[in-house]
Structure 1
Amino acid sequence: MSTTALAVRLFLSSAGESNDAVIVGDIHSADLGGDTLRGILIPCGTAPQPASYPVAPGRYVVSATLPSGMVLTEDAVAEAGRETAVDFVMTDSPYESHSWQYLMGNIEPESVYRSSATIPLAESVSSRSMVAPAAGPDGALPETPFADPSPHATWIGDAPPESWSFASMLALDQDDGALERFVAEGRPLTLTGPDVAGGLVTPLYRFGPGGPVGTPGSPSGRRQFLVVEAAGAVRLVTLPLPWGPHEVEVLVNLRQSPTGSAVAVTVRDPVRGAGLAYMAQGALDTAARLFTDVEAMLFSKSANPLAAAAGAYVLIGTDHSATETYWDPWLDRLATEFPWLADGAILRSVRLLRRVAAAGRPGAGTPVFDRDLAREQARAGLIEAVDRGIPYYMLGLAWLVEGLSAFPDDPVCALRLDQVRRLSWLADMREPFLILDLRQRST
C-alpha cells in the first residue's frame, strides 16, 4: 500500500553550482485529526531531492524557517496513498552567484538592487551597511551616500599568534598605523578580479582550505583574516578556515538598507551552514537539528575542530543540567588538543560554571562533583582562553564576558574582562564569526 506523505524542498536560483543546503521547518495539521511534525529538515538547492514525511490524509500548513528569521509557508493537501509535493521557491536573488547568501538572509531580494525606486536607504550608522554615512556636527545625516564606496579587501593568510591577542586587536582600533603593521606581518594579498563576484555593490570573496579561490600557492597559517575597507570604514573579518573541504564566503554589502549584512561570513557546508546562521540569531534549538554529530566532527580522521566548537556551543546552550553528559569529555578534548582555539577553553569553562550554577539551585540535590574545584578549573580556563587570543565565534566573546563576570573580585579576571568588554563594543553581534568594526569615518 502506498504511503501518504508530503515531499518538501526549497528551490534556489541556478548559478552553475550546487548551492545545496538544509534548513529547518514544521508541518502543522489544519485539521483536528492530522499529524504535526516539528523540526523537519528541508533540502535546498537548484534541483534538490525532496525529503518525504509520512502524514495522515488531510490539510496541512508547511513552514520553512530561514536563517534570517523569516518564515515561509505553503498550504498542502495530503491525499491518501500519494506523495504530495510541497515546493518553496526563493529564486529572486539579486545575483545567481549570491543564492546561498540570499538563503542565509545576508542580502535583499532582486527588486532592492535592480530598482532604484524601491531601495530603502539607511537612516543611521547602525544599519547593516558597510558605508552608512556618519552624522555631521549637527547630528544630521547626509542626503546622499558616498560617491565611490568601492571596497578594498586584503587577505592575511598567516597572521602570527601575537596578532590574535586582545591587546593587539584593541590597538588596531586605537592606532591608525597598527592595522598596516598587522597586515604587513601577515603577508597581505589584495583580492581583485576573478576572485570577486557580484560587482562593486555586493562583492563576494571566496576562500578554500588553502586560501582565496583562484589563487593557488597562497601561504596560509593557523589563522586567516580579511581586512575590508570602503569609504573610510574598516572591518577585520575572522575566516573560519579550514572548514574541511568546504569553501567560506565573505559578502560585503555596500547597499545602504536596513536589512542584509554589512559584512557576512558563511560556510558552504550543506549540512551545517544554515546551523551557523541559526546559532548567530540565538535560535540554538533550531541549530541543534543540524549539529547532531559533534563526536564525528571532533573524532573522525578528518577532524574539524571549528565545526565541533559550533556544535558544542549549541549543546551547551540547550542543555542546562548539572550532571555530566556523554559529550562533556569532548569539551575536554577541544580545550586541550587544540591550544590555538580559544573557543575550546571558553566552552569547557562556561560548561563548568553552568553545571555549578545548576547544582546550586533549590531541589537540585547533592552535587555529584566538587563545585569549588569546578569553579577554580573554570577560572583557569577562562584566563587561558583570553591569553590564547580572540575566539573565532561571536558567541565565544559573549560567553567570555559571562564567564569572567562570575569572578568580580578577582583582579586577574577583572583585567581580562575589561579587554574582552572593550573588544565586544567593536564586534558585530549579528554574525556567527567575529567581525570587528575598527573605525568608521566621514569622507
Structure 2
Amino acid sequence: MSTALAVRLFLSSAGESNDAVIVGDIYSADLTGDTRRNILIPCGDSPKPTSYPVTPGRYLVSATLPSGLVLTENAVAVEGEETPVDFVMTDSPYETHSWQYLMGNIEPSRVYHSPGRIPLAESIASRSMVAPLAEPDGFVPETAVDLTALATWIGDSAPTTWSFASMLALAGSGSVPPVAQRIARGEPRVLPAPDVSVDAVTPLYRFGPNGPVAAPDVPVGERQFLVVEAAGSVRLVTLPLPWGNREIEVLVNLRQSPTGSAVAVTVRDPAVGAGLAYMSQGALDTAAQLFTDVEGMLHSKFRNPLGAAAGAYVLVGTDHSAGETHWDPWLERLAEGFPWLSDGAILRAVRLLRRASPETQQARDGLIEAFDRGIPFYTLGLAWLIDGLSAFPDDPECVRRLDEARRLSWLADIREPFLILDLRQGSA
C-alpha cells in the first residue's frame, strides 16, 4: 500500500443526502514532504474519504469553507499506510441545517442555543432583519425581538418588473399593495413554516424546479422570486430555478448569521454548490477547482442555463487568453438562446471588453442589451455590468444605465451569490 492521507469532512446527519465538496490544501510541516494545493474534500454524514499520495512525514491539512473560515488538522503520514484526516462539523444547530452550516449561513449549536440571548452585530450592515438596540455587552434579550417572518413565493413574475427602474421603484414605494402582488403575473403564494419542529427563528424553505417542495405543481414562469418580510423589513430574493433537477434552499435567519446575511440562497448541488459560495467571495480560482468541467457546463446550457452561466463566470474570470477561444461561440449561444437571462448578455459583453483587442462597440451594445433585459440572477453579474458600463463615461445611454445599476447595487447583499435586494428596512 502506498503512503497517503485520506481526507474527508463530517456533517450532521440530516436523514437525507447532504453531500458536498470543498477545497483544501496539504502542507509539509517538516518541509521535507509533499505539498498539494487545491485538493477536493468530500463532505457529508458518512463521506467516502479521498486519498492523496504523499511521502512519509508530518503534515498540516487545511479545509477552506465557503464562508472563508479555514479548518486545520495535523497528520503524520506513515510509510505504507493510509492515514485518515477527518474534519468534523457536526455542531449544526439543527440536522436539517447542516448544509447551511457548512456554507457559513448559520451559527454553531453552542451559540445558537445559548439560553435567553441572541447574538447581533453592532454594525448596521451586519444586522439581521430584526435588530432592536443591543445591551452594553452587545447582546439582545430574546424577549425583545419579534421573531416572525412572512415568506411569499412568486412562481410567475411579469417580465416588465425585472427592469432596474421597476426594482428601484419597489424600494421607494410604500407597503400597499404588497411587493409580491406588484411583480407577480399570477397569484403569489404565502408559504407555511417549513418545519414546526424546528425553531421558527431560522426557517428553511426548499424549492424544486416547479416551486416549493411538497407543494402541488403549478405553472411557473421564467423567473421565480421569494419575498421575505419581518418587522417592516422586506427582502426580494432571486430564486435560481430551475437548476436541473437539484433543489435550492433559502434560509431566513432572524438572528445574526456569521456572514451577516439575513437571507441566504444555496443550491443543493454536491458538485458545485460550494463553488457558488466561493464565487460570491470573489474566489473564482477556488471555485474553478469545483467547476472541474466548466466547459461542459457551458456546453450543456440548454439543460441548465443558470449552471452554464455560473461556469461561464468562472471561465471568463480566470481565463487570460489574449485572443478568441473555442468557447467564445458558446458564450454567444448562451446570450442569444435565453433572452430572459441577462447574465448571458453580461458575460458576452465583458468577454469582448477583456480581449487583448477589445471589441468596444459590440461590448457597449451588449451591455445595454443586458441592462434592458432586467436584473441579473447573479450578484457578480451586477458587479460586472457596473464595471462594464463604467468603461463608457462619455456615452449618455451607458451613463444613464450605469446610474440605475449603481443605485440598485446599494440595495444588494453582495455577500450572496444570487441577487437579494433589501427593498425596505424596518427595525434593522
TM-score for the superposition, normalised by structure 2: 0.94
Partner of 2:410: 425
Preserved contact between residue 226 and residue 238 of structure 2 (Cα < 8 Å): yes
SS of 1:43's equivalent in the other structure is: strand
Q: Distance in 1 between matches of 2:118 and 2:146?
A: 18
Partner of 1:266: 266
Partner of 1:364: none
Preserved contact between residue 198 and residue 204 of structure 1 (Cα < 8 Å): no
Q: Distance in 1 between matches of 2:114 and 2:369?
A: 51
Shift of 1:220: 1.3
- 1:152 equivalent to 2:150? Answer yes
Partner of 1:390: 375
Gaps of 5+ in 2: none
Q: Distance in 2 between matches of 1:260 and 1:124?
A: 10
Q: Distance in 1 between matches of 2:199 and 2:182?
A: 28
Partner of 1:114: 113
Preserved contact between residue 246 and residue 269 of structure 2 (Cα < 8 Å): yes
Change (3 A) 1:68 1:180: closer
Shift of 1:221: 1.1
SS of 1:226's equivalent in the other structure is: strand
Q: Distance in 1 between matches of 2:45 and 2:10?
A: 6
Partner of 2:11: 12
Change (3 A) 1:127 1:258: farther
Code of the aligned partner of 2:292:
T
Partner of 2:286: 286
Change (3 A) 1:252 1:196: farther
Partner of 2:391: 406
Change (3 A) 1:31 1:352: same
Change (3 A) 1:29 1:180: closer
Match runs of 1:167-186 below 5 Å: 167-176=165-174, 177=176, 179-186=179-186
- 1:123 equivalent to 2:122? Answer yes
Partner of 2:255: 255
Partner of 1:435: 420
Change (3 A) 1:386 1:257: closer
- 1:94 equivalent to 2:93? Answer yes
Code of the aligned partner of 2:6:
A
Change (3 A) 1:221 1:104: same
String of CA shifts for 1:16-70, please: whole Å, max 9, x gaps. Answer: 0110000000011112321000000000001000001111111111100000001
Match runs of 1:203-352 below 5 Å: 203-256=203-256, 259-300=259-300, 303-352=303-352
- 1:162 equivalent to 2:182? Answer no
Q: Distance in 2 between matches of 1:65 and 1:236?
A: 30
Q: Distance in 1 between matches of 2:218 and 2:85?
A: 45
Shift of 1:340: 0.9
Q: Distance in 2 between matches of 1:301 and 1:319?
A: 19
Code of the aligned partner of 1:291:
F
Shift of 1:422: 0.9
Q: CA RMSD in A?
A: 2.1
Change (3 A) 1:19 1:346: same
SS of 1:242's equivalent in the other structure is: coil
Change (3 A) 1:43 1:424: same
TM-score for the superposition, normalised by structure 1: 0.91
Identity %: 74
SS of 1:185's equivalent in the other structure is: coil
Change (3 A) 1:412 1:183: closer
Preserved contact between residue 131 and residue 427 of structure 2 (Cα < 8 Å): no
Shift of 1:186: 3.9
Mean alpha-carbon deviation: is it higher for 174-183 or for 242-251? 174-183
SS of 2:7's equivalent in the other structure is: strand
Q: Distance in 2 between matches of 1:198 and 1:235?
A: 22
Code of the aligned partner of 1:155:
W
SS of 1:155's equivalent in the other structure is: strand
Shift of 1:442: 3.5
SS of 2:119's equivalent in the other structure is: coil
SS of 1:250's equivalent in the other structure is: strand
- 1:190 equivalent to 2:180? Answer no
Preserved contact between residue 107 and residue 261 of structure 1 (Cα < 8 Å): no
Q: Distance in 2 between matches of 1:200 and 1:411?
A: 49
Code of the aligned partner of 2:164:
F
Shift of 1:81: 1.1
Shift of 1:164: 0.8
Q: Distance in 2 between matches of 1:198 and 1:422?
A: 37
String of CA shifts for 1:112-148, please: whole Å, max 9, x gaps. Answer: 111137743322321141212489xxxxx99667542
Mean alpha-carbon deviation: is it higher for 229-238 or for 291-300? 291-300
